Amino acid sequence: MSDTSADLVILGGGSGGYAAAFRAAELGLSVTLIEKDKLGGTCLHRGCIPTKALLHAAEIADAARDSDQFGVKATFDGVDIAGVNKYKDGIVNRLYKGLQGLTKAHGVTFVEGSGTLVDQHTVEVDGTRYTGRNVLLATGSYSKTLPGLELGGRIVASEQALTMDYVPDKVVVLGGGVIGVEFASVWASFGADVTIVEALPRLVPAEDEFASKQLERAFRRRKIGFKTGVKFTDAAQTDNGVSVSLESGETLDADLLLVAVGRGPNTAGHGYSEVGVAMDRGFVTTDERMRTNLPGVYAVGDIVDGLQLAHRGFAQGIFVAEDIAGLNPEPIDEAGIPRVTYCHPEVASVGLSEDEARQRYGSDVTTFTYDLGGNGKSQILKTSGAVKLIQAPDGPVVGLHLVGDRVGELIGEAQLIYNWEAFPADVAPLIHAHPTQTEALGEAHLALAGKPLHVHG
C-alpha cells in the first residue's frame, strides 16, 4: 500500500468538511479531503441549494397566478418542470464548479472515493492509506424512513423528489418539519393538492409555538391540508397511486407519498465504531470543541447530534481548523445558530423558544409580538406574519422568532442581537431604513424598551 500524510485528513466533502479544508489550508496546514460523491455534499447537490431553487420557482408561479392584486396583467399557463429542473441544476452546477476551483486554489489534495477510518490517524480509500496528524469526520446524513416503510416507486424521500420530471396532482407529505413544509409549499404553488401528516401536535414542532400557529394559519389560507397529532401506520402503492393509512383509521389516497421524517447520521460503514469512536444513537459524541474520545480525531456537521444545518457544519469546520492551528477559537453556542424554513411564508428564528426561556429563567420572562400588519414593506409584499421577541428578566433578548415572506433575510440582524446579548434598549436607538422589513425588528425592540410606536392594541 502507498502512504500519504498531511496535517489534516478530512472524511467527507460537504459543508463542514470543505470549510475545514479551506480554512486549514489558509492557516498553512497540509490538507487531504476525501469524498465518495461530489464536493459540496448533500446541501449543494440534494438539499439546501436545489430545494431553495424550487421554492423560488414556486414564488414566481404564485406571483404570476396572483399578479392581478398588484395591478399587473399576467397569465399563469402552468409549470414547465423540465425548465424548472434546468434552472435548478444550472445553479447547482455553477456552485459545484466554483467549489472545485476553490479546492485547487487552496492547494487541498482532493481524493475521490469511499473512505474508512482505520485508526485514529488513518483513513483508507481503495487500498491507499491517508495519514493525518489530525482527522476530521464529516460524513453527513441520510434521509430516514419509518420501520416497514420502504422507499421506492411512488414512495420517495427528498432526494428523489428533487429529480422528478412531473408535478404530482395529489401528494401526502409524511412529516411536518422543515423538509416536509418546504416541499408541501413548492407543490402547492405548482398546483398540487397537498396534505401533511405530522405525528407531533403542530407543524414545525422544533420552533416556538407562536411560529407554528402563524404557519398553520397561512397554510390554511393557501389550502394546504395538514393533520397533526396523528401517526402514520401503513402505505400501500399501486401503479396508479399510493394509499396512506393513519392511526386514526383515516386513509389518504394520493399520487405520491413524500417521506420527510428527518435525517439520520451517516456513520455506519466508515469504521468509526470499529476504531473505538464513542457514539450515541448513531451520532458521534464530541465535546464543545468538536473533539471525539480519540485524541486528534474531531467530528462536525450532521453526524454530531444537534441542529442539522449546513451553516452549523460550516461554522464547526472552520472552528476545528482554527483549533488545530492553535488559534483557540470560542466554542459555538448552538442556540446562536440561525434557523430558517424557506416555505411560503418563511419561518426564521435564533435563540431560545418561550418554553426554553421559561425553563431557564423562570416565569418572569417577557415576550412581545409585533404584527407585520404595521410594517409598510410587508404590506407592499402582501405578506402577513409577525416578529416575536423573548427577553430574560431584566436582561438581554434571548429569543427572536419571525414568520412572513422573506423574513429569512432578517435573521442576520436577529442573530447579532442574540449573540451580542443585546438589551431592547441597545437595539431601540438603531435606525432602520424605511420602508424595509427590518423595521419590524426595530419596532419590536422599541416596544420592549418601553416606547412602542406602530403597535396596535
Q: State the catalytic residues.
A: 434
The half-sphere exposure of 91 on its side-chain side, counting CA atoms within 13 A, is 19
φ and ψ at residue 259, rounded to 5 degrees:
-95, 110
Cα–Cα distance measured from residue 236 to residue 250, given in angstroms and rounded to the nearest whole number: 14
The reply to whether 280 sits in an annotated binding site is no
State the DSSP string of 150-211: --BTTEE-HHHHTT-SS--SEEEEE--SHHHHHHHHHHHHTT-EEEEEESSSSSSTTS-HHH
The reply to whether 52 sits in an annotated binding site is yes
Cα–Cα distance measured from residue 147 to residue 43, given in angstroms and rounded to the nearest whole number: 26
How far from chain centre, in Å, is Cα 404?
17
The reply to whether 141 sits in an annotated binding site is yes
Grid cell listed for 44: 449543494
- Across the beta sheet with 339-341, the strand order is 339-341, 346-351, 397-404, 386-391, 366-371
Q: How many CB atoms lie within 10 A of CB 4?
A: 16
Cα–Cα distance measured from residue 19 to residue 316, given in angstroms and rounded to the nearest whole number: 8
The reply to whether 275 sits in an annotated binding site is no
Q: Residue 291 gets which letter from DSSP?
A: B
Distances (CA, A) of 7 to 134, 207, 321, 340: 6, 40, 10, 35
Q: Are 437 and 377 in contact (CB under 8 A)?
A: yes
The reply to whether 179 sits in an annotated binding site is yes
Grid cell listed for 335: 442556540
How far from chain centre, in Å, is Cα 265?
15
Axis-axis angle for helices 354-361, 209-221 (nearest 10): 170
φ and ψ at residue 153, rounded to 5 degrees:
65, -120
Q: Are 316 and 161 in contact (CB under 8 A)?
A: no
The reply to whether 302 sits in an annotated binding site is yes
The reply to whether 247 sits in an annotated binding site is no
* Core vs surface per residue 400-419: b (16+ CB within 10 A) or e: bbbbbbbbbebbebbbebbe
Grid cell listed for 385: 406574519
The reply to whether 140 sits in an annotated binding site is yes
The reply to whether 177 sits in an annotated binding site is yes
The reply to whether 313 sits in an annotated binding site is no
Closest C-alpha to 19, from 125, 99, 115, 113: 99
The reply to whether 382 sits in an annotated binding site is no
The reply to whether 115 sits in an annotated binding site is yes
The reply to whether 175 sits in an annotated binding site is yes
The reply to whether 198 sits in an annotated binding site is yes
Strands 283-284 and 297-299, sheet pairing: unpaired
Known binding residues for NAD(+) are 175-182, 198, 262
Known binding residues for FAD are 52, 115, 139-141, 302
Known binding residues are 52, 115, 139-141, 175-182, 198, 262, 302
